[in-house]
A and B are shown apart, each in its own frame.
Chain A
Amino acid sequence: MTDQDSRLSRRHFVGATGAATLTGLAGCSGGSDGGDGGDGSDGGDGSDGGDGGDGGNTLEVLHAWTGGDGARAAEALVAAFEEEYPDIEHEFNPIGGGGNQNLDAVVANRLQNGDPPSSFANWPGPNLQRYEGVLGEVGGVWESEGFEDVMVQEAVDLHQYNGAYRGVPLGSHRLNCLFYNTSVVEEAGVDPDSLTSVSALIDALETVQSETDAIPMTHGASGTWTTTQLFASTMLGQEGYDAYMSFIDGSPDEAAVRATFESLAEILGNYINEDASSIGLTESNQNIIEGNAAFIHQGNWAAGAYRNAEDFDYDEDWGFKTYPGSEGMYMLHFDSFLYPSDNPSPDATEQFMAFVGSEAAQVAFNQYKGSIPTRTDVDMSQFGPYLQETQEDFANADQRPPNLQHGLGVPSGTMTTLNDVISSEFSGPYNVDAATEGFVDAVSN
């Protein structure tokens, strides 16, 4: 073979490689579209998310209920959905880890890339601000299903953003809860029902400390969120509804914030477990179950662990008290499903939204999750006595202030700043001045 030939064939080869590379690159950029299609439509109907117009695609729902109660509740929800809508192809994808953090990151990436899921679990309220511009509206579902008539007014208000409904609530947890181990408080001679102010709570903690070997109040502070939500309940209980509401609405009373932090510093500085900073909620809650601690403040998801513990029954072994001072109030939390615009399966998603707000879905999910339906017309007979009482409190509450740490009170950026302040100023040593200043600055408009 001559050199000319060899050059030519090499040149061809180079050309072919170049072309192959280009094709490969094109394949990569095109591949993400294909991948979207694969995500969205398992059945291989070939149309990817781009068309958006017809509702023939698989319903894809993202949530973060991966373990324990949450996983069982999500399974019950899926089963109920299949029963109600057997014809809708669906895919429920749990994304666990770091609370909701991994779910949020996945959702953020997919919304950013123009590849939204059909629906995803998240909190309504000011939390919706971070999804500005990427949420569609489901006002039609609210109207046709009559949700406005059966949900509490706060649910109606908090699910609207820029004048349109952006999602539907599935269930509600209560935040202003104080749980206790019955035998420990009896040993200390404390009557939890008599604790109707934060100062009474602090006295009770002192009594527990002097009368028993137990931890007065167990606290899991490996994350800052437990302290932030304790701040919210303490402020509500000590400074009252109006002070709390003006705090989250952006006109905080500096003295009220300071007084709250002073009480918190007294509680956290004297009456919590020494290993608080190295444990999380699960281990902290275990102190209640094992009788090592008297009180814990948490959302009522904590009660799920009590139900799953053996020989640990409501009223006999553990009890519930509205956080001292916040009697008659129900600090709100919502688990909701939001509706992204540019929806890959608009029709199926609207049906799913209608399902989420229905009695069947709310009963199926909440009885396992340990939360309560957001509808007030639901038959509670399938729920245990504790949740039945919670539901009564919910329906009859004088006020239902939004929570601080779970999206309903402040936008997510503010929430991050509040947690930064807790992390740097109030995770021991407790710096009341700096924390007060940080909180006031963070929420002020």
Chain B
Amino acid sequence: MTQNTDTGDDSGDALPDGGVAEDGQRSGFSPISALNERFGSDFVESSQFWLPPFLLVGLFVYGAIIWNLLISLTDFTGFGTPDYGDLDLEMYGRALADSGFIDAAINTFILLVGFTLVTLALGLGLAILIDRNIRFENTFRTIYLLPMSLSFVVTAQFWAWMFNFNNGVINIVITSLGFGRVDWIGNPDIVLWAVMFALMWQFAGYAMVVFLAGLRAIPNEHYEAAKVDGASTVRMYWRVIIPQLKGSTISASVVLMVFALKAFDFLYSLVGGYRPPNGADILATKMVREAYANLNWAYASAVAITLFLMTLGIVGPYLYYQYNRGNL
């Protein structure tokens, strides 16, 4: 040790890795050190790890989004190449004048908000129940999580059968309770809620797992302190526990909302085509229909950009929140 320090005194700074920095190197200008100074140490050295994926993601994700934006500004239909010389917002104007687009956007929004809120509430309820040290805890957890492991194609077919007017299990149950049958798929006022219910069934387990992890991270002392202070169970959860689940709530809602935007798979499988039942059309199905049934590439791109902006509106605040907390 002492010896090391001595040598250091004699011939420049010893570096942690045993290398020796030379004075000449340090004082001279080099683009690498300039980059390192600007973006933090090891910027250049570490680039071999992050640069290739950065370029690939940049090209295939962000490059594609920008290209998509460009196409949405053209009038591109059919086959051939789009004319990039004449860019305008005509397709967005057309979208605003298209009642089908407006309906789809509203449905997307309703699905987004309704599905997320209900799934969060249900997931939280399940998580609290499971957290009460019940018997067969693992079994219940598996049962609730299982639907999420099934693909949309499978669950959509299940629900198509269960929602059947004549012999679907749901109508059989409600008629045996003395109510009239409901046309779940055929009634345009109901179908979106029916779809939402099916999606909620599938994703409540996921919300439950996220909340359960959040609950388990809360120290036992908080529960004990609340009990010592005489709080009832409901009050304890409402005032002490749930406020601490903010992080879980936010991350679960972002994932759920993104899933709601991707409900395309479910609707596609429900009817076996690009056109969902009347009243359940969402932007994703509208986009695919415009692109592949009508070859209206520019219009479909405009729908896609709208959908992208909706997603950004959800993910953006989340990223900002995480950034403020120093997690990014």
B-binding residues in A (CB < 8 A): 1-4, 6-7, 10-11, 13-14, 17-18, 20-21, 24-25, 97-99, 101, 104-105, 108, 111-112, 130-134, 221-224, 273-280, 412-413, 416, 419-420, 423-424, 427-428
Contact of A104 among B183, B281, B293 (CB under 8 A): B293
Q: How far is the CA of A423 from the CA of B78 in the complex (A)?
A: 25
Residue B137 is within 8 A (CB to CB) of chain A in the complex? no
Contact of A132 among B44, B56, B78 (CB under 8 A): B78
Residue B163 is within 8 A (CB to CB) of chain A in the complex? yes
From B19-27, B215-223, B256-264, the one touching the partner chain is: B19-27
Contact of B278 among A17, A105, A413, A427 (CB under 8 A): A427
Whole-angstrom distance between the Cβ of A41 and the nearest chain B Cβ: 24
B47 touches A14 (CB 8 A): yes
B22 touches A3 (CB 8 A): yes
Residue B184 is within 8 A (CB to CB) of chain A in the complex? yes
Which chain B residues numbered 147 to 174 have a C-beta less than 8 Å away from chain A? 160, 163-168
Known contacts: A25-B55, A412-B293, A424-B278. The answer to whether A1 contacts B19 by CB under 8 A is yes
Q: A10-B45, A101-B292, A133-B78 are in contact. List 5 more A-B contacts (CB 8 A).
A: A2-B20, A3-B19, A223-B275, A277-B187, A416-B294
B32 touches A278 (CB 8 A): no
Q: How far is the CA of A112 from the CA of B291 in the complex (A)?
A: 12
Collect the chain B residues with CB atoms within 8 Å of residue A1's CB: 19
Interface residues on B, range: 35 or more
B294 touches A412 (CB 8 A): yes
Known contacts: A130-B78, A222-B272. The answer to whether A11 contacts B51 by CB under 8 A is no
Collect the chain A residues with CB atoms within 8 Å of residue B167's CB: 275
Contact of A277 among B100, B277, B293 (CB under 8 A): B277
Chain A to chain B contacts (Cβ below 8 Å), 14 pairs: A3-B19, A3-B21, A4-B25, A14-B44, A14-B48, A21-B55, A101-B293, A132-B79, A223-B271, A275-B164, A277-B183, A278-B185, A424-B278, A427-B188
Collect the chain A residues with CB atoms within 8 Å of residue B80's CB: 133
Q: Is the interface of A mostly helix, strand, loop or mixed?
A: helix
User: Looking across the interface, which residue of chain B has its beta carbon closest to that of A280?
Assistant: B272
A428 touches B275 (CB 8 A): no
Contact of A222 among B185, B188, B296 (CB under 8 A): B185
Known contacts: A21-B55, A98-B268, A275-B165. The answer to whether A413 contacts B48 by CB under 8 A is no
Q: How far is the CA of A280 from the CA of B292 in the complex (A)?
A: 22
User: Looking across the interface, which residue of chain A has its beta carbon closest to that of B53?
Assistant: A21
A424 touches B22 (CB 8 A): no
Q: How far is the CA of A99 from the CA of B291 in the complex (A)?
A: 17
Q: How far is the CA of A413 from the CA of B77 in the complex (A)?
A: 11
Residue B317 is within 8 A (CB to CB) of chain A in the complex? no
Q: How far is the CA of A133 from the CA of B296 in the complex (A)?
A: 15
Residue B247 is within 8 A (CB to CB) of chain A in the complex? no
Residue B141 is within 8 A (CB to CB) of chain A in the complex? no
Whole-angstrom distance between the Cβ of A114 and the nearest chain B Cβ: 10
B79 touches A101 (CB 8 A): no
B272 touches A98 (CB 8 A): yes
User: Looking across the interface, which residue of chain A has its beta carbon closest to that of B295?
Assistant: A130
Whole-angstrom distance between the Cβ of B195 and the nearest chain A Cβ: 13
Residue B316 is within 8 A (CB to CB) of chain A in the complex? no
Residue B115 is within 8 A (CB to CB) of chain A in the complex? no
B292 touches A105 (CB 8 A): yes
Whole-angstrom distance between the Cβ of A116 and the nearest chain B Cβ: 10
Which chain B residues numbered 11 to 56 have a C-beta less than 8 Å away from chain A? 15, 19-22, 25, 32, 44-45, 47-48, 51-52, 55-56
User: Looking across the interface, which residue of chain A has its beta carbon closest to that of B98?
Assistant: A420
B277 touches A17 (CB 8 A): no
Residue B186 is within 8 A (CB to CB) of chain A in the complex? yes
Whole-angstrom distance between the Cβ of A108 and the nearest chain B Cβ: 6
Contact of A2 among B19, B51, B78 (CB under 8 A): B19
Q: How far is the CA of A101 from the CA of B271 in the complex (A)?
A: 12
Which chain B residues numbered 194 to 211 have a C-beta less than 8 Å away from chain A? none
Known contacts: A24-B52, A130-B78, A278-B160. The answer to whether A101 contacts B273 by CB under 8 A is yes
Collect the chain B residues with CB atoms within 8 Å of residue A223's CB: 271-273, 275
B292 touches A104 (CB 8 A): yes
B292 touches A278 (CB 8 A): no
Known contacts: A98-B272, A99-B273. The answer to whether A277 contacts B186 by CB under 8 A is yes
Contact of A6 among B19, B165, B185, B273 (CB under 8 A): B19
User: Looking across the interface, which residue of chain B has its beta carbon closest to that of A6?
Assistant: B19
Contact of B51 among A17, A101, A274, A276 (CB under 8 A): A17
Residue B274 is within 8 A (CB to CB) of chain A in the complex? yes
- 8 smallest CB-CB distances across A and B, nearest first, come from A277-B186, A275-B165, A17-B48, A105-B292, A278-B185, A275-B166, A134-B79, A21-B52
Q: How far is the CA of A209 from the CA of B20 in the complex (A)?
A: 98
A420 touches B186 (CB 8 A): no
Residue B59 is within 8 A (CB to CB) of chain A in the complex? yes
Collect the chain A residues with CB atoms within 8 Å of residue B103's CB: 424
User: Looking across the interface, which residue of chain B has its beta carbon closest to that of A427?
Assistant: B278
Whole-angstrom distance between the Cβ of A292 and the nearest chain B Cβ: 10
B186 touches A416 (CB 8 A): no
User: Looking across the interface, which residue of chain A has its beta carbon closest to that of B18?
Assistant: A1
Contact of B52 among A17, A98, A131, A222 (CB under 8 A): A17
B19 touches A423 (CB 8 A): no
* Most chain B CB atoms below 10 A, which of A3, A6, A132, A278: A278
Known contacts: A21-B52, A223-B275, A412-B294. The answer to whether A274 contacts B166 by CB under 8 A is yes
B100 touches A224 (CB 8 A): no
A4 touches B295 (CB 8 A): no
A278 touches B168 (CB 8 A): yes
B186 touches A276 (CB 8 A): yes
Whole-angstrom distance between the Cβ of A341 and the nearest chain B Cβ: 10
Q: How far is the CA of A224 from the CA of B289 in the complex (A)?
A: 14
User: Looking across the interface, which residue of chain A has its beta carbon closest to that of B166?
Assistant: A275
